[in-house]
Amino acid sequence: MLCFPNCKINIGLYITNRRNDGYHDLETVFYPIKSYHDALEVVNSDYDTQLHVTGIDIVGEQEDNLVWKAYQLLQERFPVKVRGLDIYLRKALPMGAGLGGGSADGAFALKLLNDFCKLGLSDDLLAEFALQLGSDCPFFIYNTPQYAKGRGELLEPMPLLDLSGYSIQLICPEVHIATGQAFSLITPRAALYDLRTLAYLPMAKWKDHIQNDFEDAIFSQHPELATIKRKLYEQGAIYASMSGSGSTIYGIFEKGKKATIESALSFKEHYTN
């Protein structure tokens, strides 16, 4: 059984509070980009479960991989049904890019194992498991536009937010930004705009009302990212922003349009038609 864990972008991102548990409260809109994805497959095996990873190199041990952690969560709960599997992960989404690729892999692994092993778990229960993997993992269980607050796990669907009539260009420089380090550079403050009303704000006005609180600090350390954003606007983007804590910069264009980006940085590019 095969699935394709996709990435997300953040439309607006406000860091509103530093919590006593070491996390931060935030407000953002998660929007799925389903055309840019990894691949994840599970098949039966006569041996102990193994995880096979190809594609982009992943830093760290297998025990830290969210796909493996997802398997372990369900195997502990359903030891008879969830066992004897070969799990294949083909990585295409860059790490440390603000696209949630690892979180998507973990959440999709939960959904895939639920279906393959016939566990019968609801999306809401899967989201509870997903939260044990990471703060933004529950979003990928639903994989629809969501307003998020708290650590990113408190979700409110935004069915009226539809970008299918636009083209979205993702520029993913080979700059890895550690999330913890990015948060350490932020001074929390109240959100400057109520993102729950985003669908009612004309996109032409997003630039003047919506921002990512990480940009000032990250751009000061990596000014080439600010240059990429500027070039997206210069070449016709209706709205451009950094996603998450970076380093991906995206631009939203009229359908069929995109920018031609020249940069001193090596980067991967994805474009939704």
Q: Are 1 and 31 in contact (CB under 8 A)?
A: no
d(Cα 234, Cα 57) in Å, to the nearest integer?
34
- CA-based Rg of the chain, rounded to a whole angstrom? 19
Active site residues: 8, 136
Residue partners of 199: CB distance under 8 A and separation at least 6: 158, 160, 161
Beta bridge partners of 257: none
CA angle 250, 253, 257 (to 5 degrees): 110
Retrieve residue 37's tokens: 């994805």
d(Cα 273, Cα 270) in Å, to the nearest integer?
10
3-state secondary structure 116-177: HCCCCCCHHHHHHHHHCCCCCHHHHHHCCCEEEECCCCEEEECCCCCCCCEEEEEEEECCCC
